[in-house]
A and B are shown apart, each in its own frame.
Chain A
Amino acid sequence: MKPAPFKYIVARSIAQALALKAEYGGDAHFLAGGQSLVPTLNFRLTQPAVLIDINPLIECAGLKNSVSETVLIGALTRYGKLERDPAIAKNLPLVHEALPHIAHPQIRNRGTIGGNLAHADPASEMPAIVLALAGRLRAQSRTAERWIAAADFFAGALSTTLEPDEMLMDVELPVARPRSGSSFMEVSRRRGDFALIGVACTVELDAEGNCVQAAVALCNAGETPILAVDAGRSLLGRPLDAAAIDQAAALIQTAIDPGGSIHASKDFQRHLAGVLTKRALTAANERVQRAH
């Protein structure tokens, strides 16, 4: 229950952090909040040769909004800050609703949005949320930077498409639009535990009440966070009545292949995915209706 030996280097600038990552590549891990990394170090599931502590890079933390359609969140922004930020509640209601489900208050005080996404735990909440919101992630290396669509970011369980010399810098999420609604729901055994299944959804209706945008994403429903593309598409061009929502839930139940565990069989997870999809879409639809 103690980490294996490693070399600990404090990065004093972004340039230094990127140079170190370029030098050590896959042998080095960035240490952000450490709320996922340090447990895996303690269990010796991860034994990196080098830890690059990026916590002093305060320029990587905080909301850096520049345009009105999107919110740009520095990768080192801690969940506790997002939770207390009225701009998140106003502009990113889906994120605001999900935050209390992300682990416990003490974990949220240290854990960062970038670290959480780069850890890419399929049971974690935020990966599913950036998928549902069709967010973008900015990665930087010593020589280049690029934007990665959330849908292209998660490669497998605990694995992303970040290159060994890249650092995740920013998370860009779209501001909730006027005739839109969203909902996050999960079932876990205890408050703060990983979800047995979680569902994040967004919908947008036109003036006639027909759905013009819908996205449903799930946590802990497979090897990666899952964006249920077919279910989202099935909702387009029609009102979100019970028949439409039931059909989307059924599509999700057949599409996912959850892993099952001692706490929930695959069948139970599939059942939960259906129930939560129905409830979350119904809630999101009601929120659009209520707001207008």
Chain B
Amino acid sequence: MLTDSPAPDTHVIAVAVNGVDYRRTVGSRLLLSDFLRHDLLLAGTHVGCEHGVCGACTVIFDGVAVRSCLMLAAQADGHAITTVEGLAPGPDELHPLQAAMRECHGLQCGYCTPGVLMTMKAFLDETPAPDEAQIREALSGNLCRCTGYQHIVEAVQLAAAQLRKSSP
């Protein structure tokens, strides 16, 4: 430890979350997951294991799915993040992935769902017509203790079909 460490080390960050610009002062050891939940009050991002195993805290960071518990809030300075709150197009509308999860019973307790949704959002952006093996591979970093994954896979297949239909 630094013997001369005075006040807690803080940093001013500017970050765009779901299209909204925020400017906040954060401690250096604040995790991005806790920043989203406690500072921005976007509690849709769930925190499961806090060591990168469960995937519940997955967000989209500069276009790719990452674990928010394995990043520091200070690292988000100057970057763009999408959380599950930014997925639906409007307050009374669901994203096709969310609608498909409801339709296919892709969740029970729902704890893993935000991470699953954000992982699958980034996956379908890159792989619009996935086969089942690709979906299971892409889901491998998200633990679900309820569903046995079958219904999640079906939901992703349905959402992929819907998204393909709606995109020109």
- Give A contacts to B, CB under 8 Å: 1-8, 10, 27, 31, 34-35, 38-39, 41-43, 47, 49-51, 53, 55, 80, 100, 103-107, 109-110, 190-192
Contacts and interface: CB of A to CB of B under 8 A. Distances in A.
Nearest to A192: B140
B9 interface: yes
Contacts of B123: 105
Contacts of B31: 2-3, 38, 42
Q: Quick one: which of B34, B71, B77 has the most chain A CB within 10 A?
A: B71
Given A2-B31, A27-B2, A47-B1, A38 B70 contact: yes
Given A8-B72, A35-B70, A38-B71, A109 B65 contact: yes
Given A53-B75, A55-B75, A191 B52 contact: no
A35 B119 CA distance: 17
Contacts of A110: 66-67, 70-71
B130 interface: no
Contacts of B137: 100, 105, 191
Given A1-B50, A4-B29, A43-B51, A104 B74 contact: no
Contacts of A8: 9, 11, 28-29, 72, 74
B86 interface: no
A161 B71 CA distance: 27
Nearest to A34: B70
A231 to B, nearest CB: 31
B45 interface: no
B90 interface: no
B9 A80 contact: no
B63 to A, nearest CB: 9
Interface string B135-155: 001101100000000000000
Contacts, number: 103
B5 interface: yes
Contacts of A47: 1
| Those 8 A-B pairs whose CB atoms lie nearest each other, nearest first | A104-B141, A8-B28, A39-B51, A191-B140, A109-B64, A38-B70, A3-B29, A1-B50
23 contacts: A1-B50, A4-B29, A6-B9, A7-B5, A7-B9, A8-B72, A10-B74, A38-B52, A39-B52, A42-B31, A50-B2, A53-B72, A100-B137, A104-B55, A105-B65, A105-B123, A106-B55, A106-B66, A106-B119, A107-B70, A107-B141, A110-B71, A191-B140
Contacts of A39: 51-52, 70
Contact of B28 (A51, A104, A107): A51
B51 A5 contact: no
A164 B1 CA distance: 16
B41 to A, nearest CB: 19
Nearest to B138: A105
B103 to A, nearest CB: 25
Nearest to A40: B51
B89 interface: no
B134 to A, nearest CB: 11
Contact of B67 (A27, A31, A100, A107): A107
Interface in B88-146: 119, 123, 137-138, 140-141
Contacts of B69: 38, 42
A34 B140 contact: no
A35 B51 CA distance: 9
Contacts of B51: 1, 39, 42-43
B29 A5 contact: yes
A180 to B, nearest CB: 28
A39 B72 CA distance: 11
A159 to B, nearest CB: 21
